[in-house]
Amino acid sequence: MLHRTDRMGGKVMRAIVVGSGAGGAMAALQLSSRGTEVHLLEAGRPFRPLTRKVRHAEPLRRVGALGAERNITRLFPHMRTVRCGEVVGIRGVGEGGCTVLSCGNMMRTERGLREIGLDLRKEFDQIESLLPMCTVPRDRWRPITRVMFDAAEGLGLSPQVSPKAMDADRCADCGMCELGCKNGAKWDSRSWVEEARRNGALVHHEHEVQKVVLEGGRAIGVQTLTPAGTVTMKADQVVLAAGGVGTAQVLIRSGLGVNDGLWMDPVITIGGVLPKADQLNEVPMSWYLHRGSYMISPYLDLLSHFFHPAWRSVGVRDRVGLMIKLADSANGSVDEQGNIQKSLTEEDGQHLNEAIGIVESILSEAGVHRPFVQGMMNGGHLGGTRPLRPEDVDGMRPSDLPEGLWLADLSLVPRSQGMPTMLLAAALGLRVARTIVRDRA
């Protein structure tokens, strides 16, 4: 890899960005727009929506042939799962990371950030101005979703409509946002990857970074596993944005270590029954209510529908779900193979039981029939493995890392959010990239 030079003959800064989710894609976009030579490394392949596989798999689901969560990756190859206690950890591996597998929610989440002196309001403002922000009109909600919203209001829970990054006019109300949007209505970070490409960034798929290359106490590149073998790539700056687990794996293999402070934002959906509710035929999570340690939102959990035996007896038309997303304790750990050790604490259990009680009250008030069955508990927001401290905030990097090495994902966030985190991850990527440029000047 040879450095480019600018018009004045000076050396152009080269940066390697690892991961193309919200944080990595934003960092690559911001750096490439400032004249940096960017190489964006993605462990997975280009993403394709998975909705066709869902339809083909339905007959297998009915007879239990899909099995349990260990088979999720076989049906959805861009999802990686790992069992950690009562929670199934889920990661998105492929261009766009977890953004292609999300419901498009864009909430401002700052839990634990004010305590360390990190204010991301400017970044939130800028990112929201770049996105097709909207809310789903109430007349496009399914009747049961409207009734549950009214029930939550009647219980004094102050539900709110969900801000989303999507073009509502292009949305087909297929309910499969989390499996990739076949119509291109829902935003994901691949649009930022493409914009970075137009700025000159080079995108390398199936480049699984093994470790950071260090020399004289400084990061000078990465060693990456490719289809052609192991390759060493050099750079002036290395930005790890592979998520709380992927980034942790690279750090551990590089001899740099991580904190045992992993959080996951566990999700569990409570399912009830209402004939011909057709909850799948709408945008999921059209409204939400937030209670500090958790949020609640209407959601027909497809992972539970396909892979959770307790949900098998009810068809998708008659299933009604309300999701709980929990702000869990930061008490997990990761090893270099990506194995996770994580458990819910007694306090987590108390918050979860409180949320389940509220969900069951809403379902009952809305006329949804019992039995209310818990779905598969899974966690897809993985962070906290290399959190910022107050003294790190100005430099936007843990100060004990080698020079030239940066993190731009939820690894930096000390506490679980219990809310959607795409906007937060993107804001971190933006702030980190700006700091790299600032320090280079």
Q: How far apart are CA 187 and CA 337, in angstroms?
A: 31
In tens, the pLDDT along 319-346 reads 999 999 999 999 999 999 999 999 999 9
In tens, the pLDDT along 22-34 reads 999 999 999 999 9
SS (H, E, C) 242-277: CHHHHHHHHHHHCCCCCCCCEECCEEEEEEEECCCC
- Report DSSP state, residue 3: P
Q: Which residue stretches of the chain have pLDDT < 50?
A: 2, 7-9
In tens, the pLDDT along 142-186 reads 999 999 999 999 999 999 999 999 999 999 998 989 888 889 999
pLDDT for position 79: 82
pLDDT for position 8: 38
Please name the amino acid found at residue 351: H
How big is the chain, counted in residues? Answer: 441
Strand partners, 42: none
Closest CA to 239 of 222, 223, 252: 222
Helix, strand or coil for residue 148?
helix
Percentage of the chain with pLDDT > 90? Answer: 79
Q: What is the pTM of this model?
A: 0.94
